[in-house]
C-alpha cells in the first residue's frame, strides 16, 4: 500500500519552481529580516532546484534568445532591490543578483553546444564561465555556475544511447540513472550542507515527472524575485 502511494507522488516543473521559490523566500527572510530557525537550512534547496530547472528550460524552450533576454532583463530590474536587501545600498558593484548567474549559464550552455566538441573544450569553457561568474560577483559564484553546468553535462552525458538528449531526465531507465548522478553532484558541490537537505533535494529530483504542470502566470517568476527582495528590505528596516 505504501509503495502504491509513493508511485502516485510526482512533481511537475511548476511544482519544483514553487518549491524553489518558497525555499528561496525562507532563506531571504532569515538573512534580510531576522534569523528564523530552520529557514536557512530549508533555503539551501532553492539553488539546486533553480539550477536544474534552468537546464530543463534551456532544452525545452522554443526560443532561447527570448529566454536569455528575459533573464538579462530580470537581472537588470532586480539589481537595485538585491543591493538594497543585502548591502543596504542602492548600488553595490561587488555583488550581483542570481539572475545574472543564470543568464551567464544560458550563454555557457549555448557555447558548449556549439563549440564543446571534445572534453578539453568543455573543460576550458566551464573554467572560463566559472571564473567569469566569480569575478563578476554574481550570486552563487563559481559554485553556482559549476552546479548548473554539472546538470547540463548530466543531460548530454549519455550520448551513447538512442534516447534524445533533451529527455534523458524523463526516460524510464537512463532518466533515473541521470537523476542519481545529479543527486551525487549536489552532494559533491554542497558537501557542507546537512545530510537531510541533500536527501530532500535528491527526493525532489526523483519525483520529478518531466511535465510542465499548469500555471497561468509565467511572468510571475520573473516579477516575484525583485518584488520580494524589495518587500523584505522594507520589512527588515521596519523591524529594525
Q: Contact 18/220 with Cβ under 8 angstroms? A: no
Q: Is residue 1, in this structure, part of any structural domain at all?
A: no
Ordered alpha helix ranges (H), 91-169 = 98-115, 119-136, 141-156
> What confidence tier does 192 reach under pLDDT thresholds 50, 70, 90?
low
Q: Contact 204/45 with Cβ under 8 angstroms? A: yes
Q: Contact 59/166 with Cβ under 8 angstroms? A: yes
Q: Is residue 81, in this structure, part of any structural domain at all?
A: yes
88: left (phi over 0), alpha (psi -120 to 50) or beta: left
| pTM (predicted TM-score) | 0.82
Q: State pLDDT tens for residues 106-155.
A: 999 999 888 867 778 888 898 899 999 999 999 988 888 988 988 888 77
Decide which of 157 and 66 is more confident.
66
Q: How many domains does the chain have?
A: 1
Q: Is residue 2, in this structure, part of any structural domain at all?
A: no
Q: Give the chain's mean pLDDT.
A: 80
User: Could you tell me how far CA 159 lies from the centroid of its own chain?
Assistant: 24
Look up residue 111 and give its three cell numbers: 557555447
Q: State pLDDT tens for residues 211-233.
A: 776 665 667 888 999 999 999 99
Q: Is residue 115, in this structure, part of any structural domain at all?
A: yes
Q: Is residue 167, in this structure, part of any structural domain at all?
A: yes
Q: Which domain holds residue 155?
A: 7-239
Span 2-22, mean pLDDT? 72
Q: Is residue 79, in this structure, part of any structural domain at all?
A: yes
Amino acid at each position: 500500500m505504501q509503495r502504491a502511494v509513493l508511485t502516485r507522488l510526482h512533481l511537475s516543473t511548476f511544482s519544483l519552481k514553487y518549491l524553489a521559490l518558497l525555499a528561496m523566500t525562507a532563506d531571504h527572510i532569515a538573512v534580510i529580516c531576522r534569523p528564523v530557525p530552520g529557514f536557512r537550512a530549508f533555503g539551501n534547496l532553492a539553488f539546486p532546484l533553480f539550477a536544474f530547472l534552468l537546464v530543463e528550460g534551456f532544452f525545452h524552450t522554443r526560443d532561447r534568445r527570448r529566454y536569455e533576454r528575459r533573464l538579462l532583463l530580470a537581472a537588470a530590474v532586480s539589481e537595485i532591490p538585491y543591493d538594497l536587501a543585502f548591502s543596504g545600498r542602492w548600488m553595490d558593484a561587488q555583488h550581483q543578483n542570481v539572475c545574472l548567474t543564470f543568464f551567464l549559464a544560458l550563454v555557457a550552455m549555448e557555447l558548449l553546444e556549439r563549440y564543446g566538441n571534445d572534453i578539453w573544450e568543455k573543460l576550458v569553457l566551464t573554467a572560463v564561465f566559472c571564473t567569469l561568474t566569480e569575478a563578476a560577483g554574481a550570486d552563487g559564484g563559481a559554485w553556482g555556475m559549476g552546479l548548473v553546468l554539472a546538470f547540463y553535462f548530466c543531460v548530454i552525458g549519455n550520448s551513447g544511447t538512442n534516447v534524445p538528449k533533451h529527455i534523458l531526465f524523463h526516460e524510464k531507465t537512463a532518466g533515473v540513472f541521470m537523476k542519481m548522478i545529479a543527486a551525487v553532484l549536489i552532494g559533491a558541490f554542497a558537501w557542507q550542507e546537512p545530510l537531510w537537505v541533500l536527501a530532500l533535494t535528491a527526493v525532489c529530483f526523483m519525483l520529478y515527472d518531466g511535465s510542465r504542470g499548469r500555471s497561468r502566470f509565467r511572468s510571475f517568476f520573473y516579477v516575484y524575485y525583485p518584488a520580494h527582495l524589495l518587500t523584505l528590505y522594507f520589512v527588515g528596516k521596519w523591524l529594525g
